[in-house]
Structure 1
Amino acid sequence: MRVSPIATRLVALLLTAALITGCAGRGATDDEDEFAGVAEQELYEEAREALDARRFTTAINRLEAIDTRFPFGRHAEQAQLELIYAYYETRDWEATRAAASRFIRLHPTHPQADYALYMRGLASWQAGRFSLERLRLIDISKRDLGASRDAYADFRELVSRYPQSEYAPDAEQRIVYLRNLLARHELHVADFYLRKGAYLAAVERGRWVIENYPQTEATRDALAVMVEGYLGLDMRDRAREVLQVLIENDPRNDRLRGRTFQPQHVRAQPLSA
């Protein structure tokens, strides 16, 4: 019996599909069975040896196996903590944050919950500033600061919840840096609004900096932004009031020179009715 070319091609396609499926299935099984029959203690010892030798990929491999195969085992909690560290050392900031968040959620009263919270903040800190800031390519305060805001929130939570933690002093120092960074970022946005003539938005940004970052030097520039915004809105009474506060606190502020809100300019305007 003669077989048609179409039937021949169909059989060939079916055989190819079967071979591909079989290979894929065997590969998945091999991966799943990599640690079949390996005791938790052995996996943990191998993970610790890898960590000590800074072979973090190998360590992650073993620690993830413990987490999956022995979720309630003797080394389960410690393996989760070690995973946070191993992910961090491989600069996988997203995995670090996820592992830390999971640990905090599962073990909120654990003695090392402060460590997990600190590492979560540190991962966000690195995600927000690691690459470009080291290369000095741009002012980091002009970038999207979502990760830095997360770090700021985590470090503040750490200091609030665990004031006696060994990680609290370092967190406090980072809070100071981040507070100034975030305040400068808000001023960049406020200046953008001024350039676009969105004076009300600029005033609100300036006020937000003063209310949320009162301990930063940026509050003085925020006052200057508010003065210029009020002038743009033709609210000269308010501009004069804020200007007076700025002069009392920072009479040599750079923004007082060569800008439309110089003291003599504002004072020369008639009071609003």
Structure 2
Amino acid sequence: MKRWAGAAALGLLAACGSTVKDDPNSQASLDKLYVEAKEELSTGAYERAIKLLERVEGRAAGTVMAQQAMLEMAWAQHRSGEKAQALSTLDRFIKLHPSSAGLDYALYLKGLVNFNEDLGFFGRFAGQDISERDQQASRDALQAFRELVERFPQSRYSEDSRIRIDFITNMLARHEVHVARYYYQRGAYVAAASRAQTAVTDYQYAPATEEALHLLAQSYEQLKLTALRDDALRVLRKSYPSSQYLPGNEPPARSWWQFWRS
């Protein structure tokens, strides 16, 4: 009887130990779930990783682990092509954790999602100038990268963000010039002047500003606004003294395929 009682007691203790160890609400269980999610991420199983990270975030709410799970979830969504979901997760992170140590990475990833979305589209249409498509994603990326650089100038992501800012700025300036040229060639001189002015004002240090000033002067010439035309030419001459767009010089020749695309 004593032997049976002892065995029963040992069995009860073992059962209790097993219950604690396998408790789905325990920290050990949560850690195991997180490790599993990381393993799925490392193998590229993003959909499975996202589901696991959602569970981690829910169970670890209010902790640093939950923040990390959100960031890794956004990365997985981005890698699996779920742009809208990735941006939604990042916006939620930024709103819920404005003082998080991972905020700079959240801003960087937000910029990257929009930046890569544009490049991905460009890659599917070989030969099309990326500046010729709608640029809202680029503007959103620029805003995120600028906020990162301004708020976290010493962040490990700031240097790369500055490079991307320059690239996007030049691309957006080219886009405005492309649209201004389109309007000018079709006789919509007011619209052409407006888009050229946007390029000059918003992206004054971009290379495309030279042609923007040229289009601005041409548009004002067509509209008989000689004073404004002269102002545009004065700025063009001062900023680009050797410009081929100045009166007396022919603008750079365009290739046959550029005329075809116009």
Q: Which of the five TM-score ranges fits, normalised by the shorter chain?
A: 0.7 to 0.9
Q: CA deviation at 1:174?
A: 0.2
Kept after mapping to 2: 8 A contact 1:209/1:222: yes
Q: CA deviation at 1:246?
A: 1.7
C-alpha RMSD over aligned residues: 2.1
Q: Number of aligned residue pairs: give it.
A: 224
Match of 1:158 in 2: 148
Q: CA deviation at 1:45?
A: 1.6
CA distance in 2, matches of 1:73, 1:149: 33
Q: CA deviation at 1:82?
A: 1.4
Task: Name the amino acid aligned to 1:183.
Answer: A
Kept after mapping to 2: 8 A contact 1:40/1:75: no
Residue 201 of structure 2 is aligned to residue 211 of structure 1:
yes
TM-score, normalised to structure 2, is 0.78
CA distance in 1, matches of 2:175, 2:123: 15
CA 1:145–1:236: 2 relative to 1, 3 Å: same
CA distance in 2, matches of 1:169, 1:74: 26
Match of 2:239 in 1: 249
Q: CA deviation at 1:245?
A: 2.8
Q: CA deviation at 1:87?
A: 1.6
CA distance in 1, matches of 2:230, 2:66: 63
Q: CA deviation at 1:215?
A: 1.2
CA 1:73–1:110: 2 relative to 1, 3 Å: closer
User: 3-state SS of the aligned residue for 1:75?
Assistant: helix
Match of 1:172 in 2: 162
CA 1:65–1:137: 2 relative to 1, 3 Å: farther
Match of 2:185 in 1: 195
TM-score, normalised to structure 1, is 0.75
Q: CA deviation at 1:70?
A: 4.2
Task: Name the amino acid aligned to 2:213.
Answer: L
Match of 1:77 in 2: 67
Kept after mapping to 1: 8 A contact 2:169/2:203: yes
CA distance in 1, matches of 2:64, 2:150: 31
Structure 2 unaligned regions, length at least 5: 1-22, 252-262
Kept after mapping to 1: 8 A contact 2:176/2:199: yes
CA distance in 2, matches of 1:82, 1:238: 53
Match of 1:89 in 2: 79
Match of 1:6 in 2: none
Matches within 5 A, 1:36-47: 37=24, 39-47=29-37
Structure 1 unaligned regions, length at least 5: 1-35, 260-273
Residue 89 of structure 2 is aligned to residue 99 of structure 1:
yes
Q: CA deviation at 1:193?
A: 1.9
Kept after mapping to 2: 8 A contact 1:186/1:209: yes
CA distance in 2, matches of 1:251, 1:74: 56
Q: CA deviation at 1:37?
A: 4.2
CA distance in 2, matches of 1:43, 1:206: 55
Q: Structure 1 stretch 177-186 or stretch 71-80: which is displaced more? A: 71-80
